[in-house]
Chain A
Amino acid sequence: MLTLGSLERRELEARLAGPGLDLCTGPYVTRLRAPIASVADGLQLLYADYPVLADGQFADFHISLLPSAGLRRWYKPQVHFRHDGHVVFRPLPQAHAFPMFEWGMNWCVSSHANDHLIVHAAVLEKAGAAVILPAPPGSGKSTLCATLAHRGWRLLSDELALVRLSDGLLTPLPRPISLKNASIDLMRSYLATPEQGEPVLSRPVSDTSKGTVAHLKAPATAVARAGEAARPAWIIFPTWEAGSEARLTPLSSAAAFTGVAQNAFNYSLTAARGFTVLGELVDACGCYAFRYSRLDDALAVFDQLPRETP
């Protein structure tokens, strides 16, 4: 299958400026129009391993990131995100175009993938057992996710746990991991190895609504296995806390149920089926709160998670 990395830059730009680039991420195809150099840069850097389709096939999402017209082309240029031709977000400075693409991709899935219970959570898998990490912003979820994804766990998603309503399995959606502020340099050094050097990160973009952001390339093995659903085994609510020992604390089923529901985008929309799937998910998982400060310690805990079926 054709991958984005096999496209010449000229061909990539021609698709982005013309009929659109049909980019496959997990089970979804996104037709992207974005005649903006920084978007092409980010795609080449972080999406080289992803399949792209020939023109004219079915696409789930049709999005565009277009530069401003008129005077705005020169004065504080902006970028406009549209989905199916409709404006979805307020325009952002054009320097924010690539983060806006990433946020827009998240929005497409979280607003439309209603054959899943969609939870704001990272998901990783090892030896056939997946861990779901639901957490609000600022909890250290993405830092922990990036660490696990580069230390033996398969990345399913940094942002969206997709629990299939049909059978409760987790649909992978491996995409770049969003890092913010101090986490960017931390991950740049922590994930560096003598064999592979520094991890691949997009150029940091400052002064966004989330501060400075950069995206970390998803491991190629995770992208290659995007078609392999995973069975949930743990639900862990992580919190980074300065100076804290790495500590797992069992959660009651009721606390886990309400915690996941509160982090779900479409719990109400999925109604009785979502309720049933969420109950079965909690039954199938060991449920914990997790506090940590040191990534090495966190890794040790995750590599020894209790495997017994609750």
Chain B
Amino acid sequence: MRRLLVILPVAVFAALVGLMFALLTDDERNEDLSRLPSPLIGKPAPVIDLPPVNADIPGGFATRDLQARVSLVNVFASWCVPCLAEHPFIARLAEQGVPVYGINHRDKPKDAARWLRRHGNPYTAVGADSDARASLDWGVTGVPETFIINAEGVITYKHTGPITAKDLKTKILPKLQEAAGG
């Protein structure tokens, strides 16, 4: 009994240290934890109706356009460097036939148009969200963010931050398949 009283606190302390060490060094898990879960997952995409950025860029789109097939909604801005980093992967997804809708977040039409001309425009349609009001409705905390919308217009997944090659393989593609009912 007496020995137990001595050993028990030491054992509890050692277990806590072990647990904390394991949690702190699990990068994959921490990355997911530092990104907030969206309460919108499993809910119909919030209703927005965005005008086109300018006459050169195809677009303007509304939530009702996100019906009938699985699509991506990508929040981006010309001033956002991580958006540029993920741009090739957005383009690759569009090449594979996934309709990608762009929410142009807090941007000047001139800057957005120049950015899309220079880096290519993979978007099916781009909506201008110069006052970030639509982003607010979608619970966007920063750019870039990418949503997967299923054929019923329900948000099934949200990716916060730039899509990397690894994210594309381990998260976006499987989630797209899942949203397609695969």
The reply to whether chain A is a binding partner of chain B is no
Interface residues, chain A, with chain B CB atoms under 8 Å away: none
Interface residues, chain B, with chain A CB atoms under 8 Å away: none
